[in-house]
Amino acid sequence: MTFIVGLIEKDNIYLFSDTAITEWNSNEISQISSFGENSYSDDVRVVYQSEIKLFSVNNRLIIGGAGNSNSIDSFIENIETYESYDLSLSEIVENALENIDDIDFEILLGYFENNMPVLCKKHSNSIELEVCSNEFSYIGKEGTHFTLFQNNFTELKSQTANFDSWDPKEISVTVNSMLQAYGVWNYTLEEGIGGAFTSLYLDKQRVSWQPSLSYIIFDININSLKAISSNPDMALPNNLFSNSKYIFTDQREGAFYISSPKPNYTGFLFRQLDKKKEIL
């Protein structure tokens, strides 16, 4: 139940993704924690932060994948094989899809063709690529993240006076932080979506992974919040914020590092091609 968002802004292509995976019919409750939340489990599944779902190929192509992990891995391997052929990027992708056994996965792809940014989507059990023309496109589950982002991203652009002057890093950091906050506030691991969010973007020269980020998560005293909401001139109460936690994230090609005070939480996430899981 992955959630991956793709968008084009100012001739740059962006992809944003969660890192949660779902293990079905598993009796083992993972001790790995997500972005301040506990892993989710019920009678049929376990959901926890585990894998990067974004890929880049030779600074020319960015990919986000949701669905069967085996199939996604085979598709990426095919892409890398056809990269050595004298083909356009669209032809490379088409050949990679045509020569795969199972197509039970979704993808978002970003690349430049004739100096123009292109964002495409492949639906599950299809090899047809659909050019995305909406303000943003997504794959995975249409849950809390989709509902909130659909409203907030449009509002962000319309109400931020200097949005047109933002550079790619500012857009990447802001959107990534919005998506991260949705999961922390709403415990979306229950929906199969969550963990740390990652991102990358492509311009005409290169792929850039998200900048290093530091987050501060804290509890809010609801009564104190109500008090200052009804009296804007009131001084901030000392007990408004508590239990602050500092989390640092740093991403490079294929590896994502998280540092947090939460037990069993500090460490690396990788895209593990030899660890086959169902990413749903």
* pLDDT at residue 196 tops 60: yes
Angle between helices 168-186 and 144-159 (to 10 degrees): 140
Residue 232 CA: distances (Å) to CA of 81, 158, 224, 225: 61, 26, 12, 10
pLDDT digits (tens, 9 = 90+) for 120-170: 999 999 999 999 988 899 999 888 999 999 889 988 888 887 888 999 999
Which residues, at least 6 apart from 259, have a Cβ–Cβ distance to it below 8 Å? 247, 248, 249, 266
Look up residue 146 and give its two tokens: 């989709």
Q: Where are the domains of the chain?
A: 3-210
Residue 92 CA: distances (Å) to CA of 6, 16, 72, 86, 111: 20, 23, 15, 9, 12
Q: Which band of pLDDT confidence, cut at 50, 70 and 90, is reported for residue 178?
A: very high
* pLDDT at residue 265 tops 70: no
Contact 240, 223 (CB under 8 A): no
d(Cα 215, Cα 208) in Å, to the nearest integer?
20
d(Cα 60, Cα 122) in Å, to the nearest integer?
18
Assign residue 233 a region (left: φ > 0; alpha: ψ between -120 and 50; beta: otherwise). Answer: alpha
Q: Which helix (H) or strand (E) holds 168?
A: helix 168-186
Global pTM reads: 0.87
Q: Which band of pLDDT confidence, cut at 50, 70 and 90, is reported for residue 276?
A: very low
Contact 59, 205 (CB under 8 A): yes
d(Cα 92, Cα 82) in Å, to the nearest integer?
6
d(Cα 133, Cα 258) in Å, to the nearest integer?
34
Q: With H, G, I as helix, E, B as strand and everything else as coil, classify residue 78.
A: helix
Percent share of the chain, pLDDT over 90: 41
What is the CA 228 to chain-centroid distance, rounded?
Answer: 34
pLDDT digits (tens, 9 = 90+) for 12-31: 999 999 988 888 876 666 65
Phi, psi of 132 (to 5 degrees): -85, 130
Q: Which CATH architecture has domain 3-210?
A: 4-Layer Sandwich (3.60)
pLDDT value at residue 10: 87
